[in-house]
């Protein structure tokens, strides 16, 4: 089967750095995506990794290790507006091309 | 460009009633998706369509049907609504997957339909 694990909650202070980990089990792995969702809103795309290594986009970076079935999202210079839920999602070719989302990590940023 | 639009935004149904959720995208994307999100949980894939004329089941297809009417539109139908189908429903679309990384692989989500079945 397919499964993803990520922490349910993380709390950090404004200006700090936080890392949200994601481990996955799936066949037909294609890539790992990260999405942000504010309360009452729709998910918005942050990053996608298909190859091992670090992908940097402004204050956000995403890392993938295919051999360890592991990835993380790194948020730097945290701002209050970063308080949201963050989802990792596996893109996999398994009985067709599918996206499987994790349960999400709720990030609370404190002043 | 409007991106991905969904109608209605809110809906209350009685058990056994039927309804169709509409989704349209104006980005010329081949792939379209329907997800449901229950409180405090991630998104679960109901159905997806890799291209016009094709549909495939996702993780939780039971109780739902879909129609890919044309390249722009992908509808989700509840034939006989049940309280367990109370959820927020998101439609999404995506262009061709870029193998390597980064921008180009994102799914664009609509604003969601908040459905309550009593």
DSSP assignment string, A52-109:
SEEEEETTEEEEEETTTTEEEEEE-S--GGG-EEEEEEEEEESSSEEEEE---EEEEE
Write the DSSP symbol of residue B52. T
Among B3, B35, B43, pick the best mutation site for testing chain A contact (most A Cβ within 10 A). B43
Percent of chain A with pLDDT over 90: 75
How far is the C-alpha of A62 from the C-alpha of A54, rounded, in Å?
Answer: 6
Mention every residue, 6+ apart, whose C-beta is less than 8 A from residue A57.
Answer: A46, A47, B102
pLDDT band, residue B66 (cuts 50/70/90): very high
Kindly state the average pLDDT of the residues B44-62.
92
Residues in chain B with CB shorter than 8 Å from the CB of A57 are 102
Distance from CA of A16 to the nearest CA of B (A): 25
With 70 as the cut, is the pLDDT of residue B54 above it? yes
> Which value, to the nearest 10 degrees, does the dihedral of the CA atoms of residues A10, A15, A19, A20 take?
40
Nearest CB among B100, B107, B108 relative to A51 is that of B100
Which residue in A108, A106, A105, A109 sits closest to A5, CA to CA?
Answer: A105
Residues of B in contact with A41 (CB under 8 A): 111
pLDDT value at B72 more than 80: yes
The residues facing B12 across adjacent strands are B116
Higher pLDDT, B75 or B101: B75
Predicted local confidence at residue B105, as pLDDT? 76
Residue scoring higher pLDDT (B62 or B100): B62
Reduced to 3 states, what is the DSSP secondary structure of residue B104? Answer: coil
Q: Give, as one character, the DSSP assignment of residue A28.
A: S
Measured distance CA(B11)–CA(B5) in Å, rounded: 16
Mutate to test the interface with B, among A1, A41, A45 (most CBs of B within 10 A): A45
* Contact (CB<8Å) A91/B41: no
Query: Phi/psi class of residue B26: alpha, beta or left (left: φ > 0; alpha: ψ in -120 to 50)?
Result: alpha
CB burial of A33-71 (b: ≥16 within 10 Å; e: otherwise) equals bbbbbeeeebbebbbbbbeeeebeeeebbbbbeeeebeb
| Integer Cα distance of A4 and B59 in angstroms | 14
* Cβ separation B112–A51 shorter than 8 A: no
Q: Which chain A residues are Cβ-neighbours of B35 within 8 angstroms?
A: 101
The per-residue pLDDT for range B105-116, each reduced to its tens digit, is 789 999 999 999
Report the alpha-carbon distance of residue A21 to residue A66 in Å, rounded.
14
Asked if residue B61 has pLDDT above 90, the reply is yes
Mean pLDDT of B38-62: 91
């Amino acid at each position: 089967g397919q499964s993803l694990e990520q922490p349910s909650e993380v709390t950090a202070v404004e200006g700090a750095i936080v890392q949200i980990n994601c481990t996955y089990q799936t066949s037909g792995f294609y890539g790992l995506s990260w999405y942000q969702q504010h309360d009452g809103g729709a998910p918005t795309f942050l990053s996608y990794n298909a190859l091992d290594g670090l992908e940097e986009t402004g204050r956000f970076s995403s890392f993938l290790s295919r051999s360890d079935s592991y990835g993380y999202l790194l948020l730097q210079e945290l701002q209050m507006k970063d308080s949201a839920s963050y989802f990792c999602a596996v893109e996999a070719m398994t009985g067709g091309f599918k996206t499987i989302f994790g349960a999400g990590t709720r990030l609370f940023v404190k002043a | 460009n409007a991106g991905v639009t969904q109608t209605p935004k809110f809906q209350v149904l009685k058990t056994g009633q039927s309804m169709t959720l509409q989704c349209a995208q104006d980005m010329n994307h081949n792939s379209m998706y329907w997800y449901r999100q229950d409180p405090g949980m991630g998104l679960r894939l109901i159905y997806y369509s890799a291209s016009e004329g094709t549909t495939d089941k996702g993780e939780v297809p039971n109780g739902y049907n879909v129609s890919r009417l044309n390249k722009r539109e992908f509808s989700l139908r509840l034939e006989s609504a049940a309280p367990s189908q109370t959820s927020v429903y998101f439609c999404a679309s995506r262009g061709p997957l870029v193998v390597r990384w980064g921008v180009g692989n994102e799914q664009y989500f609509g604003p969601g339909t908040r459905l309550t079945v009593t």
